[in-house]
Chain A
Amino acid sequence: MPTLLIVEQLLNGLQFGLMLFLLAAGLTLVFGVMDMINLAHGSLYMVGAFLAAWLVAKTGSFVWGVLGAIGLTAAFGMLLETTLLRTLYARDHLSQVLATFALILILNDGVKMVFGNDLPLSAPDALAGPVQLLPGLSYPAYRLLILGVGLLLALAMYLLVARTRLGALVRAGASNRVMTEAMGINVRRLFTVVFGIGAGLCAVAGALLGPLLAVQVGMGENILILAFVVIVIGGIGSIRGALVGAVLVGCVDTLGRTLLQQAFREFLPPQWASAAGPAIASIAVYVFMAVVLAVRPQGLFPARA
C-alpha cells in the first residue's frame, strides 16, 4: 500500500478526531462533573453550524460568521444551562435522558422553523485549492485549516485545564464535586461558564465541518454518539482522555473506512470483501470501544480517583 495514502488518511483521521474532541470536551465535563447525560449536546453542534452558515451568508465573511456563531452558541448554551439543564443535575439518569431527548426534538424542529431543513455553507474561496505538503502529496487547504484550528484549541483547552485557576476548579469538581463545594467553591456558577465554553467548542466543530459534511437538521445525532464513544474510551471527566480518545476514534474510523477496506480487497475473495468490508469498517469504532471497556472499564484516563 502506498505510504502517501496512509499519510493522507492519517491526516484525515487526525482532523476528524480533533473535531470530535471539540464536541467531547464539553460533553465529558458535563458528564464527569455534574454526572449528567446531555443528549442535546449534538444539537448545540447543529445550532452552531446553522448560525455559522446564516452569519457567513449575512456578513459575507467566513471568519466573522464563524466567530459570531461561536459567541451566539456559547450564549445559547449558557441560557439553556441556567434555565433548564441546571434543574436536572440532581435527577436520575432516566429523567436526564427524557428531558434532553425532548430538547433534541425541540431544537431540531425549532431550527427547521427558523432556517429551513438545510443551509449552504462552503469553505472560503482562498482555501478552496490543495496545498503541496510533500512531493506527490497534496492536501486540501481547508482541511489543513481545520487541523490547525483543532490543534490550537486542543492546546488552549489543555492550558486552560492544566494551568489556570478555572481549570484547577474544574479538575477538582470532576474528581469530587461535593468536596469542592465544601471548600466554598460555587460549582454551579463555575459550571455555567464551563457549559458555555463547551457550547462554543460545539459551534467551532459544527462551523468547520459544515462545508465538508452538510449543514442539515439532525446532523448532530450521529456525531453525538461518536462523541459519547470518545469520552467513554478516554475516561469520563478527563480532558486529556477526551483528546486521546478523540484522536484514536477519528483514526480508527477513517482508517477503517479506507485502509481496512482496501486490505480486505487485497486479501479476501472479492465477493467477501465487498460484503464484509463496509460492515467491519462502520463498526470498527464500536468494537474498539468494547475492547477498551473490557480491558479498562473506567476508560483510559479515569478522572475520578
Chain B
Amino acid sequence: MSPGAPPSTPAWRARALLAVAIAAALLLPLVLEHLGASFYVSFAGRVLVYAIAATSLNLVLGYGGMVSFGHAAFVGLGAYVTGVMVSEGWLNGYLHVAMTLGVCGVAAALIGAISLRTRGVYFIMITLAFAQMLFYLANSIKGYGGDEGLTIRARSAFGLGLDLKHATAFYYTALAVLAASVYALARFVPSRLGRAVLAIRDDEQRAEALGFATFRLRLVVFAVAGMLGGIAGLLAVNQQGYVSPNLLHWTQSGTLMVMCILGGVATLWGGLAGAAALLLLQEVLAAYTGHWEFWTGWVLLAVVLFARNGLGGVLQRVLASR
C-alpha cells in the first residue's frame, strides 16, 4: 500500500482509461433515458452521493491513517443543516453550502481536537461515541421531526435553472462535486502538505522529530474530511427530500467504512469504486432475493479473505500485470 508511489502502468494507459471513464459518466443519464431506464439515473445519483462521502472518509482513514468510526455524523449533520434551513424557509443553496461547511468544519474540528488525543482502538471508540451523541440528539429534536425524520418540500436553490429535484440535474451536480473532490485529492496527495500527512500516518514519531506539527496537520485533515462529508449530506437530503436520524446511525458509519475498504483504502478512486460496487451488489441481489443482506455479507467476507487491498488493489494488479 504505497499511494505516493508513481503508477507502474504507462501514463497514457491511465489517461486513456480516465478519459473513457469521464465520457461514460457524462453519457450515462442520456443512455439510461434512451433505454427507458430513467429510474437508474437517480440510483446513479445515490451512488455518487455515497462515493463523495466514502471519498471524504478515505481521506481520514486511508491517507490520514485515522480509523474514524463516526463519519456518518458529519454526513448527517450536513443533511440536517440543509434540512433545517429549508424548513425555516431559507432556500439559498449557496447559503446552505456555506453553512454546511461552517457547521461541519467546526464540529469536526471540535470532535477531532478531543479524539486525536487518543490512539488506536480508543480513537475508533471515541469517534463512535461522538457520532452516537449526534445520533441521539437528532432523535430528540422534536421540532425537526425527531426520530421520524424531517421532510423538506423545497430543494436548495442555486439559480441558473438548476432543479435538484430532477434526477438528471442532480446526477450532474453530484458528478461535478465528486470530480472536484477526486481532483483535489489527486493534487493534495503529492503536495508538500499531503506528503507530510502520509509521513505522519506511516511513522508519527519520526514525522514529529522532523519538525511536523503532527497534531495540527491531522486535525486539519479530519476537519476537511468532515466538511466534505457534510456536502455529501447536503446532496443526500436534496436527492431524497428527507433526512432522518438513521443517516447518523453507526451502521451508516460502518457502511462508509466498508465502501472504503472494499474500493481500496488510500486509493484515489477507492471511495467511488467501493460505493458503486456495494450499491450495485445490493441492487442486483435485491432483484433476485429478499435476503440480499445475507449474500452481500458473504461477498464482503470473500473480499476480506481473498482481495486484501480491495477492488482498487485488484484493479491496480490487473493494470500492472501487462
Contact = CB atoms under 8 A, between A and B. Distances in A.
Contact of A105 (B67, B257, B300): B300
Nearest to A103: B297
A293 B118 contact: yes
Given A286-B132, A286-B133, A98 B300 contact: yes
B188 interface: no
A110 B294 contact: yes
Given A37-B121, A95-B304, A221-B251, A106 B294 contact: yes
Interface string B81-96: 0000000000000000
B71 to A, nearest CB: 12
A282 B301 contact: no
A124 to B, nearest CB: 33
B254 A101 contact: yes
B115 to A, nearest CB: 9
Given A106-B298, A282-B139, A297 B122 contact: yes
Contact of B117 (A88, A95, A283, A297): A297
Nearest to B302: A102
B136 A282 contact: yes
Nearest to B301: A102
A233 to B, nearest CB: 10
Interface in B283-304: 291-294, 296-301, 303-304
A108 B297 CA distance: 10
A229 B254 contact: no
A55 interface: no
A105 B140 contact: no
A98 B300 CA distance: 7
Given A98-B303, A297-B117, A37 B124 contact: yes
Interface in B15-55: none
B209 interface: no
A10 interface: no
Contacts of B291: 109, 112-113
Nearest to B291: A109
A232 B261 contact: no
Nearest to A275: B142
Interface in B212-263: 250-251, 254, 257-258, 261-262
Contacts of B299: 102
A232 B250 CA distance: 17
Interface string A54-87: 0000000000000000000000000000001001
Given A87-B305, A109-B293, A293-B118, 7 more contacts: A94-B265, A95-B261, A98-B257, A98-B258, A99-B304, A279-B141, A282-B140
